[in-house]
Structure 1
Amino acid sequence: MEHSKIISAAMKINQLTDLNTYVIDNSGEFVFYHEDISIPAFMPGSGQEDVLNLYNQMMIQQMNQLYSYTNEWGLHYLGYSFSTNDSFAVIIGPFMYLTPDMYGLSREYNLRNNESEDLRSMCNQIQVLKTDKANSFASILQQFELLINKEAVPIRIVANKDNEKYRKRENNSIMNDDADIVTMRYKLEGNIMHAVEQGDKTTAIKLLNSNDMLFSFSERFPNQPLRRVKNLAIVLSTLLRNAVIRSDVPAIFVHRVSEKYAYEIEYSNQLSKLQQLYEGMVEEYTDLVIANTLTHYSKVTQKVIEYLISFYDKQIDKNELAELCFTHPSHLSRKFKQETNMTITGYQQMIRMNQAKHLLKNENISIEEIAWLVGYEDASYFTRVFKKETGYTPSQYRENN
């Protein structure tokens, strides 16, 4: 069989599923390779390890069958084997059935903060499929031989035993889809507002862009897309305005920005322009917080505060921070305390406590997890610091709020 026909069929599979697509011959060579998503090197399955594991299982079993494979942290693949003059395997994936527990994975594999972010970025790109859609992709894969103009033979599915570690997670994660989406929407709203309130533009925009489908609300006004998008823009503007007001920005400044966007939303008649407003609103409202809470500080102190907001969960290296600000560590410490009436460490602790309060009020996760997320390895030490700052233990604060 000509490889060109196989490649053409593989390209069609890739276009239909939008998943990584691989075709491997009986010597283990890649005939076709289209990979949009790469697994980080520090996670099991990286470097086509999962693909080759599935391929090796397929090659020792019967041809013309569909296979499934699940790795230990929940990535799924589908493979179909067939033979003409030679044997081949076509594999698609990864995809997921459940949104991953990022905290759990970070702890299980002892990931550093930058590794956790890389993993989160990759997982945000992976499709989370319902069973029906995954079955549809499996049906498409079964038609691979038809796509290369060969008569397909009857196929039965061979589902390999799922990885036991993943199966335990799956059994503990069954929930109602609709309720889950509503919960995620409110959680996302709270996280975006919190980021804006803290002046953290990067996080706010990242949250907005990476989860935009949660706010699609396609079930509302299905035949009136312009009205639906205008309503969503008004909702977002209201959320952002409330977040800025909570940051003690003068009301007149907030009113001016709010009126500007109310006018633009009302008189925009193109979906593309309305959708472009989303990110613009996040940027402008967040800039309003930054401009009106840091203007009375010097450029050096502003830079330190912006750094602490972004990296509050990391240990402070004052020498490295001083180099970033092109000054001496002692001078930096004196100037920062002179302007803020706090030490750099104390300011970071304040940010950590504010973030911990937000998590305690809005996240159903353990005190130990919250301590780790805000930068404390020792949960007992975190509890002592939190009580000293607030007068309450974390558990008491959560109960009261």
Structure 2
Amino acid sequence: MKRFLIEGDTMDYKQANILTAAMKLYNLTNLNTYVLDQNGDFIYLNEKVTTPPFMPGTDERDTLYLFQEISKTNKIYSYLNEWNLHYLGLSFETEEKYTIIIGPFLEATPDIYALTRKYKLLNNEIEDLRIFLNQLDVLSIDKINTFASLLNQFELLLQKEPDFEIINPRNNKNEMDTKNPYNVSEEEDVIKMRYKIEEKLIHAVEAGDKRKAKELHISNNMLFSFSDRFPNQPLRRVKNLAIVLNTLLRTAARNSKVPAILIHRISEKYVYEIEYTSQLAKLYHLYDEMIDSYSDVVMSNALRKYSKVVQQVIEYLINFYDQQIDKEELSTLTFTHPSHLSRKFKQETGLTITGYQQTLRINQAKYLLRSENLPIEEIAWLVGYDDSSYFTRVFKKETGSTPTQYREEN
């Protein structure tokens, strides 16, 4: 999630210029940008991406470490942490010393599964890592050098803003009629119709009816007037419609008792894609993709039919399906005796706790087989099986195909 911060109750003219220049640098590089004073306090922080809490550089610790290591002014410093996150830093002096740092970025596409093995990440951490790494820019050496040069010329950005001379066309066009094309009652009817369509769209997603949801979304788009608010800005209008759709789909998933962690992951993925997509065609494609994703997660993870106790167990299993089940821990979590919990879970879901976990593992394995070019042994390990031969036997029993056959067929 993007964060923006400017610290300081009072700010002199020089410092204001530094912050303005930092904003320019952020817009030019599209990288997290930080400005620290000589005491190591942030006076400016603009983050496009936030490091997950399980990584060592979280809470700006990488930034603070680089700040402490910079000993000379007007010299570019490059820092690569143990996860291969790359930063650039520069200290300079006006009347006081300041440090500006940009990053993180990547020099090569990371191997998520190698990181998973190396740091023994849990399932929920793997998903958060995937989202985080997908948000980072992968920069060529030439582009890194360009950004380093830009950083080295930071003081040029401190110069006064240029004055613009406006040139008007020779022939003035007739002023557009700015009157509202609707009268008040017509506007009220449109608003009521829009909310009614939105309610139907939410209901369609709750029922898993993708076709109906997409039809309703097209109808709803026609009733929005973002084009009036953003004339000559079609990209902004389409992005706003995508944001509205994401909000509606979150509501549908929440109403269907989808686990909050799954809603959060899908929502964050699309928030980022909407904000940083610059092509209309891709945004239009996102509409259908979002409806598909939310409808699928509603159908596969809706918990409203289960008791609160069973919902808690399912949410736990979704987060930790790749780990050994500790039934004592589950009983403590739900304030229920282990035997009673097992009976209740089987009664409501038709599966044992172990059987439900196995279903989650196999579903994730099927997804990885379809979408990732990984060895079978790697996939077995990622979904929680240390023995790939045992994984193959379980997979064939559940699906009728071996993992290799399934991959070839899909």
The equivalent of 1:336 in structure 2 is: 345
The equivalent of 1:260 in structure 2 is: 216
Q: Distance in 1 between matches of 2:306 and 2:99?
A: 62
CA contact (8 A) 2:317 2:357 kept: yes
Q: Distance in 1 between matches of 2:253 and 2:70?
A: 54
Please, which of 381, 385, 391 is the counterpart of residue 390 of structure 2? Answer: 381
Matches within 5 A, 1:168-317: 257-270=213-226, 271=237, 272-273=240-241, 275-281=243-249, 283-284=251-252, 287=256, 289-290=298-299, 298=307, 300-317=309-326
Q: Distance in 1 between matches of 2:35 and 2:123?
A: 31
The equivalent of 2:111 in structure 1 is: 101
**Could you tell me the TM-score, scaled by structure 1's length?**
0.58
Using the TM superposition, give the Cα deviation of residue 95 of structure 1 relative to its aligned residue in structure 2, in angstroms.
Answer: 2.5
Using the TM superposition, give the Cα deviation of residue 346 of structure 1 relative to its aligned residue in structure 2, in angstroms.
Answer: 0.8
1:71 equivalent in alignment to 2:27: no
Using the TM superposition, give the Cα deviation of residue 304 of structure 1 relative to its aligned residue in structure 2, in angstroms.
Answer: 3.7
Structure 2 CA distance for partners of 1:34 and 1:96, relative to 1, 3 Å: farther
Please, which of 55, 71, 78 is the counterpart of residue 59 of structure 1? Answer: 71
Please, which of 5, 8, 12 is the counterpart of residue 16 of structure 2? Answer: 8
* Unpaired runs of at least 5, structure 1: 151-236
Q: Distance in 1 between matches of 2:53 and 2:243?
A: 35
3-state SS of the aligned residue for 1:74?
A: coil
CA contact (8 A) 1:17 1:137 kept: no
Using the TM superposition, give the Cα deviation of residue 84 of structure 1 relative to its aligned residue in structure 2, in angstroms.
Answer: 7.0
Please, which of 145, 150, 157 is the counterpart of residue 155 of structure 2? Answer: 145
The equivalent of 1:371 in structure 2 is: 380
Q: Distance in 2 between matches of 1:116 and 1:41?
A: 12
- AA matched with 2:87: Y
The equivalent of 1:176 in structure 2 is: none
Cα deviation code 1:271-313 (max 9, x no counterpart): 3345302342465378474599766655544554454344433
**Could you tell me the TM-score, scaled by structure 2's length?**
0.57
3-state SS of the aligned residue for 2:76?
A: strand
3-state SS of the aligned residue for 1:267?
A: coil
The equivalent of 1:390 in structure 2 is: 399
Structure 2 CA distance for partners of 1:82 and 1:347, relative to 1, 3 Å: closer
* Unpaired runs of at least 5, structure 2: 1-10, 27-31, 161-200, 227-236, 257-294
Aligned length in residues: 299
- AA matched with 1:100: P
Q: Distance in 2 between matches of 1:56 and 1:275?
A: 40
Structure 2 CA distance for partners of 1:309 and 1:23, relative to 1, 3 Å: closer
The equivalent of 1:111 in structure 2 is: 121
Q: Distance in 1 between matches of 2:317 and 2:382?
A: 15
Cα deviation code 1:125-155 (max 9, x no counterpart): 64545667645543432233345569xxxxx
Please, which of 34, 42, 50 is the counterpart of residue 21 of structure 1? Answer: 34
3-state SS of the aligned residue for 1:77?
A: strand
Matches within 5 A, 1:155-174: none
CA contact (8 A) 1:10 1:21 kept: no
CA contact (8 A) 1:301 1:335 kept: yes
3-state SS of the aligned residue for 1:69?
A: strand
Using the TM superposition, give the Cα deviation of residue 345 of structure 1 relative to its aligned residue in structure 2, in angstroms.
Answer: 0.7
Q: Distance in 1 between matches of 2:88 and 2:329?
A: 47
Using the TM superposition, give the Cα deviation of residue 78 of structure 1 relative to its aligned residue in structure 2, in angstroms.
Answer: 2.0
- AA matched with 1:387: K
Deviates more, 1:4-13 or 1:14-23: 4-13
Structure 2 CA distance for partners of 1:107 and 1:8, relative to 1, 3 Å: farther
Cα deviation code 1:381-400 (max 9, x no counterpart): 32232233334332232223
Using the TM superposition, give the Cα deviation of residue 122 of structure 1 relative to its aligned residue in structure 2, in angstroms.
Answer: 4.9
- AA matched with 2:216: K
Structure 2 CA distance for partners of 1:325 and 1:12, relative to 1, 3 Å: same
- AA matched with 1:321: L
3-state SS of the aligned residue for 1:59?
A: coil
